[in-house]
């Protein structure tokens, strides 16, 4: 199966097993908006808890808040979002479809990369064991031709991006012969800037503040509460404020399922520090966040940093933590050294003094900030895409299993009586369920054969299946089946809680950080 096919299968699986549904589906859906189903919400909550506890419980100097989506409109002027939170858009005059000009070029570059990889794969097949990939890449005429094309377009694109030269974006699109996928023509408009914020109106118009925005990031809610938290929490620099919440962006290229949505959730932490110490803290947070990711157990090789060459005007260092999604390495989290841009601007726009008095040095200053910002939905996608597996079994059948890291799995254990029409078995199974449900999210399942029930639980990633059989009534033991190894063992009912806890307790993950 190609990665493309695998991704389509994953999207269908997410719907079939209650993880993620297209929003408003009975009305044919709403583009780039998705709802979480009964399994998805549990997975999402577990991810949020892992992040929240890692930030606020493990660090005495980080506290959490929950600010509102609606905020004073001046906030978005101060933050620069009204003036500069734009995407470069281009329309095809024939199809009347709108695209992001930079994404059209990136896709074109991606296709060249694909061609190079196909050429290498062909070489591998042809030459077998004697294949020298490095030499092939350095000498094969087809690879060299495509590489040269890539370099030329890539360099022009980067220069245009650096200079915000949108006429050049259009020229690259024309020169590369990039056509609209709908009309197939190259009949493009000029490139225009399009603001990504959603706006709505609130209350009366008397105060002139009737147009308000749905926040495009949660970070500003932290900045405008900086003084409140610092004073009421008697926080001393360095300290952090964490927040999880919804953000909204009118994304034009909305695709790749929950990777890029118009309504999504962020987990952001702003760490306030003394000016001049920011690059040390930036390095520290890079390390800390990568550890958090790798600790989940999805393979260190599936993560990498992508340090930004072009920095936003307010940043003096920035990097992305990229994850290997089925469509390649893509941004999962951003870590930014934001200087004192945000606090400084809020000070200017609000007229309120936002400085910190350092009791030790006797100095006053506007703190600098290191930000860590991760999309909850992208984490969900990372976990699901890594977990989805189709395994060939010894009996010739195939099983679909989600090998979700056990502490994040939606259901931790399924309790099953061997047969459903035996009151003694169902009674004992219910009793076990009623006992375990206070510690773990469990599911009681008595329908269909045991084999079918195992498959159902594999498909939602349940680490343990517990079967109550006739012997259980006598020996007070049950059969516990492990999702990953499919091994079964006999376990005394009294030891079930400890056995499950060892594998699924989130604190075990947190202790390794
Ligand atoms: N406060 C900084 C900030 O918002 P960002 O790089 O624009 O930075 C941070 O966003 C993270 O939010 C991204 O790394 C990504 O995980 C997530 N994110 C951004 N836009 C998204 C979208 N349209 N859909 C889903 N997640 C998104």
pTM of structure: 0.89
Residue 137 structure tokens: 């890449």
- The verdict on the CB of residue 342 being under 6 Å from ligand 1 is no
> What spacing in Å lies between the alpha carbon of 375 and ligand 1's midpoint?
6
pLDDT in tens, 420-469: 999 999 999 999 999 999 999 999 999 999 999 999 999 999 999 999 99
- The verdict on the CB of residue 378 being under 6 Å from ligand 1 is yes
Residues 403, 389 contacting (CB under 8 angstroms): yes
Give residue 373's Cα distance to chain centre. Answer: 10
pLDDT in tens, 238-267: 999 999 999 999 998 667 899 999 999 999
What pLDDT is stored for residue 209 in this prediction? 56
Task: Among 252, 331, 376, name the best residue to mutate to test ligand 1's pocket (greatest count of ligand atoms within 8 A of Cβ).
Answer: 331
- Tracing tokens 């915000």 back to the chain, one arrives at 164
Rg of the Cα atoms in the chain: 27
- The verdict on the CB of residue 119 being under 6 Å from ligand 1 is no
What pLDDT is stored for residue 202 in this prediction? 86
Task: Look at ligand 1, atom 26, and give the residue with the nearest C-alpha.
Answer: 375
Query: Mean of the per-residue pLDDT values for the chain?
Result: 95
H-helix or E-strand spanning residue 57: none
- Tracing tokens 């695998």 back to the chain, one arrives at 6
Task: Among 100, 217, 376, name the best residue to mutate to test ligand 1's pocket (greatest count of ligand atoms within 8 A of Cβ).
Answer: 217
- The verdict on the CB of residue 268 being under 6 Å from ligand 1 is yes
What pLDDT is stored for residue 193 in this prediction? 92
> What spacing in Å lies between the alpha carbon of 27 and ligand 1's midpoint?
28
- The verdict on the CB of residue 219 being under 6 Å from ligand 1 is yes
> What spacing in Å lies between the alpha carbon of 333 and ligand 1's midpoint?
7
Which ligand 1 atom sits nearest the alpha carbon of residue 336? 2
Other beta carbons within 10 Å of 103? 17
- The verdict on the CB of residue 261 being under 6 Å from ligand 1 is yes
Which ligand 1 atom sits nearest the alpha carbon of residue 379? 16
Across 123-132, average pLDDT: 92
Which ligand 1 atom sits nearest the alpha carbon of residue 331? 14
H-helix or E-strand spanning residue 317: strand 317-325
- The verdict on the CB of residue 244 being under 6 Å from ligand 1 is no
CA distance 295 to 53: 14
What pLDDT is stored for residue 210 in this prediction? 80
What pLDDT is stored for residue 443 in this prediction? 97
């Amino acid at each position: 199966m190609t990665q493309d096919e695998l991704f389509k299968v994953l999207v269908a699986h997410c719907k079939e097993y209650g993880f993620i549904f297209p929003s408003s589906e009975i009305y044919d859906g709403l583009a780039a908006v998705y709802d979480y189903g009964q399994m998805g919400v549990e997975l999402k909550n577990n991810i949020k808890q892992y992040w929240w506890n890692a930030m606020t419980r493990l660090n005495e100097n980080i506290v959490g808040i929950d600010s509102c989506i609606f905020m004073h409109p001046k906030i978005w002027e101060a933050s620069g979002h009204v003036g500069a939170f734009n995407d470069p858009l281009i329309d095809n005059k024939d199809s009347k479809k709108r695209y992001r000009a930079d994404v059209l070029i990136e896709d074109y570059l991606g296709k060249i990369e694909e061609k190079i990889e196909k050429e290498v794969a062909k070489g591998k097949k042809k030459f077998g064991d004697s294949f020298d990939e490095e030499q092939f890449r350095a000498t094969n005429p087809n690879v060299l031709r495509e590489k040269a094309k890539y370099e030329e377009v890539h360099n022009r694109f980067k220069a245009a991006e650096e200079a915000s030269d949108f006429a050049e974006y259009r020229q690259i699109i024309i020169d590369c012969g990039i056509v609209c996928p709908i009309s197939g023509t190259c009949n493009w408009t000029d490139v225009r800037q399009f603001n990504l914020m959603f706006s709505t109106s609130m209350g009366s118009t008397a105060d002139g503040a009737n147009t308000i925005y749905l926040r495009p990031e949660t970070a500003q809610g932290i900045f405008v509460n900086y003084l409140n938290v610092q004073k009421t929490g008697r926080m001393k620099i360095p300290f952090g404020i964490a927040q999880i919440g919804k953000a909204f962006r009118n994304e034009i290229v909305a695709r790749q399922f929950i990777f890029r949505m118009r309504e999504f959730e962020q987990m952001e932490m702003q760490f306030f520090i003394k000016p001049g110490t920011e690059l040390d803290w930036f390095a520290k947070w890079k390390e800390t966040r990568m550890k958090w990711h790798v600790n989940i157990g999805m393979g260190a090789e599936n993560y990498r940093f992508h340090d930004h060459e072009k920095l936003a005007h307010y940043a003096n260092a920035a990097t992305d933590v990229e994850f290997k999604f089925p469509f390649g390495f893509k941004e999962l989290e951003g870590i930014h050294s934001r200087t004192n841009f945000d606090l400084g601007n809020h000070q200017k726009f609000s007229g309120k003094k936002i400085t910190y008095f350092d009791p030790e040095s006797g100095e006053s200053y506007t703190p600098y900030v290191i930000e860590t910002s991760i999309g909850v939905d992208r984490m969900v996608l990372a976990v699901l895409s890594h977990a989805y597996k189709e395994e060939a079994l010894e009996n010739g059948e195939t099983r679909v299993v989600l090998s979700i890291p056990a502490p994040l799995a939606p259901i931790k254990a399924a309790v099953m009586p061997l047969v459903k029409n035996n009151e003694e078995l169902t009674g004992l199974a219910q009793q076990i369920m009623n006992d375990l449900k206070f510690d773990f999210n469990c599911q009681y399942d008595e329908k269909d054969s045991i084999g079918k029930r195992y498959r159902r639980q594999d498909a939602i990633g349940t680490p343990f299946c517990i079967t109550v059989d006739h012997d259980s009534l006598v020996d007070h033991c049950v059969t516990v089946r492990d999702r990953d190894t499919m091994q079964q063992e006999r376990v005394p009912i009294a030891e079930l809680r400890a056995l499950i806890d060892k594998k699924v307790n989130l604190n075990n993950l947190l202790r390794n950080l």
